[in-house]
């Protein structure tokens, strides 16, 4: 027997808004069947989708254009937070995320990842010249 999840349960598993899960199902981007007015999602298919490494960045589109591809150089977990360091070309970027997010993404040294930059302003500073 197939273990089916409701849209709300699938949203919790995927850590998405229930409306987003329903929209992805309508677009055929998530494995689902519609019974009457309800969407049902096979649990094993959703979990398999979460576990895919190759092409995982293509499974969900986002609006941000400031995506930087890099390689994780270290992950330091302390309490409820995690510090993720990544190498982008010859630069290092450091991101502080929740421990839960680091664990859900299963971040490890050497993983190819994307940093998504979303900011309302960018400041530039310059030291005093003597």
Domain assignment of residue 112, yes or no: yes
Residues 78 and 41 in one domain: no
Residues 82 and 46 in one domain: no
Please compute the mean of the pLDDT values over residues 92-117 and round it to a whole number.
Answer: 91
Q: What is the pLDDT, as a whole number, of residue 8? A: 92
For residue range 24-66, what is the model confidence (pLDDT) as tens digits? Answer: 999 988 899 999 889 999 988 887 777 643 334 445 566 666 7
Residues 80 and 53 in one domain: no
Domain assignment of residue 128, yes or no: no
Please compute the mean of the pLDDT values over residues 102-128 and round it to a whole number.
Answer: 84
Residues 76 and 95 in one domain: yes
Is the predicted pLDDT of residue 92 greater than 80, yes or no? yes
Half-sphere exposure of 96 (CA within 13 A, CB side): 4
- Domain of 81, in residue numbers: 67-116
Number of domains in the chain: 2
Q: What is the pLDDT, as a whole number, of residue 130? A: 61
Mean residue pLDDT of the chain comes to 83
Domain assignment of residue 71, yes or no: yes
CA 27 – CA 21 distance, rounded (Å)? 10
Is the predicted pLDDT of residue 94 greater than 80, yes or no? yes
CA 2 – CA 45 distance, rounded (Å)? 10
CA 12 – CA 22 distance, rounded (Å)? 13
Domain assignment of residue 79, yes or no: yes
Domain assignment of residue 36, yes or no: yes
For residue range 120-129, what is the model confidence (pLDDT) as tens digits? Answer: 777 778 887 6
Residues 13 and 52 in one domain: yes
> At 100, which CATH number?
2.40.50.100
Domain assignment of residue 111, yes or no: yes
Query: What ranges make up the beta strands (E) of 7-66?
Result: 33-35, 38-42
Residues 53 and 99 in one domain: no
Find tokens 């298919």 and name the residue: 45
Domain assignment of residue 30, yes or no: yes
Residues 94 and 53 in one domain: no
């Amino acid at each position: 027997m197939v273990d089916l999840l409701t849209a709300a349960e699938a949203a919790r598993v995927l850590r998405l808004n229930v409306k987003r899960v329903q929209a992805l199902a309508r677009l055929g981007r998530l494995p689902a069947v519609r019974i009457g007015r309800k969407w049902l999602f096979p649990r094993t298919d959703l979990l398999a989708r979460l576990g895919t490494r190759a092409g995982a960045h293509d499974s969900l589109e986002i609006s941000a254009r400031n995506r930087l591809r890099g390689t994780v150089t270290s992950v330091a977990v302390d309490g409820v937070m995690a510090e993720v360091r990544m190498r982008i070309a010859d630069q290092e970027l450091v991101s502080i995320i929740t421990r839960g997010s680091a664990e859900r993404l299963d971040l490890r040294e050497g993983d190819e990842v994307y940093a998504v930059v979303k900011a309302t302003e960018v400041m530039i500073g310059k030291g005093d010249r003597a």
